Structure 1
Amino acid sequence: MNTYIALLRGINVGGQKKIKMIDLKAMFLNIGFKDVVTYIQSGNVVFKSDAQEIQVLEERIIKGIADTFGFDVPVLVKTKTEIAKILQESPYNKTEDLEANRIYYVLLKEQPKQDAIAGLVQQDYPNELFSIRKNCVYLNCIYGAGKAKLTNNIVERKLKVAATTRNHRTMLKLLALSD
C-alpha cells in the first residue's frame, strides 16, 4: 500500500463547506482507503491506498465529498516523497522565518506554463518573497499571511492552475503523520 496526503481546498472557511474531520475520516474509509488520519480542520488527510494514479485518487475523493456532503471541493493528492521534496527544496529555511510562521507552500496541481510564470514573476508584492518551482510556489510573508497580497487565489489566477496553501508547520506535521 502507498501512503498519500490529500489536501482539500476551501473547507471550513468562513462558515462555508463545513465538514467535521470525524465525518471526513469516515468518508475516506467508506470509499475504501485505509489508515486514515486527519489533521486540523482545514482538510488535510493522510491515507493509504493500493491505487497508483494520483488523478484517480483525486477524482474518487472529489466524488466521495460530493456524494457525502453535497458540494464540490478541489482536492490535491501528494505522495509522502513529494511533500518531503517540496520541504527539502524550499529556498526559505531561516530559523527565524520558520519559527515566526512566515513560510507558506502554495501547492500546485500541475506545472504552470512558462509564460504564466513570467507574468507572475513580473508582479511586485511588497514584504513578500516568492519562488516558483515545478509544483510549488514558496512564499515568505515577512509580516505574516494575514497581510500578504500574494494569495492562493492570485496564484491560481496568474498561473492558471489549481492550488492550495499550507504553512510550514502543517507540512512538517503531514510528513510526520505519513510515516
Structure 2
Amino acid sequence: MDQQGKPPAARKAARKDGEGNGQKVVPKDGQHEGRQLARKDRDGGGQRQIALLRGVNVGRAKRIAMADLRQVLGELGFTGARTLLNSGNAVFDCDGLDAAQSSTSMSATRIEEALVLKLGVGSRVTVLDAQQLDDVVADNPLGAIAVDPARLMVSVFSNPADRAKLEPLAHQPWEPEAFALGRWAAYIWCADGVLASRAAAAMGKLLGDGVTTRNWATISKLHALARADA
C-alpha cells in the first residue's frame, strides 16, 4: 500500500487511465463513432463561424493587418466580420451563403486561398462554428490546475480525425505539465512556459501545422466575442 492507500497494481492502473494528470480521454468504444460525428459536424456549416489563422504576425513573417483580414472576409461573402487581437482571430456570419459555401471546411479553404491571392500570405486556417467553440470551452479539463491562462494552451485540430494520433500522449506522465484531449482540441498546461513544454514539443512532432494554438485567455475572449449578439 502507498501513502494514498492504493496497492501498486491500483497505482499502475490509475497512471494508465490518466488519473492525477488532469487528463480527459474519450472511452475507446466511442472513439470511432465520435470521430465520424466530428467530421460530419465540421462539414455541417453554421451561421456564425470562427477562423483561426496559424502563424501570422509572429516576427516579420506573414504580416496581415486585421483590417485587411476583415476586408477579405467581406469579399468572400461573410458578414459582420470582427477580429480579436493581432494574431489572426476572426468571428463572422454566413447568413447569405448556401450550405456548399459555408461548411467549416469550405470556409477554411476559401479563406486560405483568398489570403494568398489577395494578400500574398500563406497561412493554415482552421474554422469552427459557434457550437464547436462552445465545446472547446466546455471540454477544458485543466482549469483547476492551470493557474495562469497565458500558459494554458488550446490547440485546435485542423482535421478532427488527427485527434487519434495524440491519444498516446494523453496516457504519458507530464508532471509538472499536463496534457488532455477534448472533442476539437488538445489542452496543454505549460507549467514552466510554452518554450520549455515537453508536451507541446511532442504534439508538434506528431501533427506539425495540423493544429492552431491559442492560450486560454485568447480562447475565452474569442468565445465571448462569438457569443455576443448570437
TM bucket (normalised to shorter chain) is: 0.7 to 0.9
Cα drift, residue 161 of structure 1: 7.0
Residue 65 of structure 1 corresponds to: 115
Query: Does the alignment pair 1:2 with 2:50?
Result: no
Query: Could you tell me the percent identity over the aligned residues?
Result: 27
Cα drift, residue 126 of structure 1: 5.1
Whole-angstrom distance in 2 between the partners of 1:7 and 1:93: 22
Per residue, is there more helix in 1 or in 2?
2
Cα drift, residue 88 of structure 1: 0.8
Whole-angstrom distance in 2 between the partners of 1:113 and 1:149: 18
Per residue, is there more strand in 1 or in 2?
1
Whole-angstrom distance in 1 between the partners of 2:131 and 2:90: 15
Query: Does the alignment pair 1:173 with 2:218?
Result: no
Cα drift, residue 90 of structure 1: 0.9
Whole-angstrom distance in 2 between the partners of 1:66 and 1:14: 19
Contact kept in structure 2, 1:108 and 1:161, CA below 8 Å = no
Whole-angstrom distance in 2 between the partners of 1:161 and 1:23: 23
Contact kept in structure 1, 2:136 and 2:183, CA below 8 Å = no
Aligned residues: 176
Whole-angstrom distance in 1 between the partners of 2:64 and 2:136: 27
Residue 138 of structure 2 corresponds to: 88
Cα drift, residue 47 of structure 1: 0.5
Residue 19 of structure 1 corresponds to: 64
Structure with higher Rg: it is: 2
Change (3 A) 1:136 1:113: closer
User: CA-atom RMSD, angstroms?
Assistant: 2.3
Letter in 2 for 1:9: R
Gaps of 5+ in 2: 1-45
Whole-angstrom distance in 2 between the partners of 1:98 and 1:172: 15
> In the TM superposition, what whole-angstrom CA distance separates every residue of 1:129-150 from its partner, at most 9, and x where no partner exists?
0012332111111123243233
Structure 2-normalised TM-score? 0.68
Q: Which moved more, 1:67-76 or 1:105-114?
A: 105-114
Letter in 1 for 2:47: N
Whole-angstrom distance in 1 between the partners of 2:163 and 2:225: 32
Whole-angstrom distance in 2 between the partners of 1:149 and 1:103: 14
Gaps of 5+ in 1: none
